[in-house]
Structure 1
Amino acid sequence: MIEITNLTKEKIVAGFLKKVAEKATKVLGKKDFAEISLVLVGDAKMKEINKQYRGKNSVTDVLSFEGLNEIVICWPQAKRQAEAMAKRARLDSAKRAKTPKNPLKDELTRLLVHGIVHLAGYDHERSGAAAREMSRIENKILVRI
């Protein structure tokens, strides 16, 4: 169902990521995702891919390639975003009780779900309405994980 290629030196939780992918495709009702390829890369590789395919000379957190059923996640960017999220939660006393136990795992989950929703044909960059619909679908999946 999901093939994971880790091009970083970091250890990954492949079993967990596979379960996330299975749950997301089930919620989406997408049986046609015979195989999804997830590639974890570093900053330099993500910047290169982002420039090549989107014309943006910068690092991004996740890219999806619908025709290939491929998702590329930038591990260092996911880690930075997870650390920032945890720091904001610690600083905001109202959110302190909701501070995630494993912010990196949560961020990787969010990014993988985001990528899978893109593979299902949703695109938040088309319009505000499309962005809201995509966000709604992502949240529907995330509450079930």
Structure 2
Amino acid sequence: MKLEIDMIDETGTLTESDEVLIRQILETAATVEGLDGELELSISFVDDQQIQEINREYRGKDAPTDVISFALNEMGEDELDIIDADTPNVLGDIIISIPRTHEQAEEYGHSFHRELGFLVVHGFLHLLGYDHMTEEEEKEMFSRQEDILTAYGLTR
């Protein structure tokens, strides 16, 4: 498996260790999810105003949020097997609010890295077609998130 990550920090606040964490946790997530071949995604880090504009424009919600994902090809498990191994699978885009990440880390009583890892994995799972619209979907998605964070070693 090869994972190409286009990382854009529009806040100018991420450190090298933040970027290493993001890359490693995405690789762990792809491995835990059993993905193979060439994968690509972009992940942008923005402020609350930027994410509020995106949330308003694309989701009709005029409020800042923590993470938004735009899947380019939502797939079920069966479809993952038929992708041509020579063609990169472009998963989509993840957008994360850095101020919201700091606020939630403090609110939940854990580190910035724990919250950042959680939001990265949450966004990544959305790119793979996971959702939390129903109680059953939420249980499955949040269980997968914890599996990935634990596999990486990023626990509460």
TM range (shorter): 0.7 to 0.9
Q: Structure 1 regions of 5+ residues with no counterpart?
A: 87-99
* Preserved contact between residue 47 and residue 60 of structure 1 (Cα < 8 Å): yes
Residue type of the alignment partner of 2:149: L
TM-score (norm 2): 0.78
* Preserved contact between residue 82 and residue 107 of structure 1 (Cα < 8 Å): yes
Higher relative contact order (CA 8 A, sep 6+): 2
Aligned CA-pair RMSD? 1.3
Secondary structure of 1:144 counterpart: helix
**Aligned residue number for residue 39 of structure 2:** 34
Confirm or deny that 1:124 pairs with 2:127: no
Q: Which structure dedicates a bigger proportion of its chain to helix?
A: 1
Confirm or deny that 1:21 pairs with 2:44: no
Change (3 A) 1:83 1:5: same
Alpha-carbon distance, 1:85 to partner: 1.7
Confirm or deny that 1:144 pairs with 2:147: no
1:33-52 equivalent positions in 2, closer than 5 A: 34-52=39-57
Q: Which structure dedicates a bigger proportion of its chain to strand?
A: 2
Q: How many pairs does the alignment contain?
A: 129
Percent of aligned positions that are identical: 35
Change (3 A) 1:5 1:117: same
Q: Structure 2 regions of 5+ residues with no counterpart?
A: 73-90
Alpha-carbon distance, 1:32 to partner: 5.4
Residue type of the alignment partner of 2:114: D
Counterpart CA distance in 1 for 2:37 and 2:50 is 29
**Aligned residue number for residue 84 of structure 1:** 107
Runs of 4+ in structure 1 over 6 Å off? none
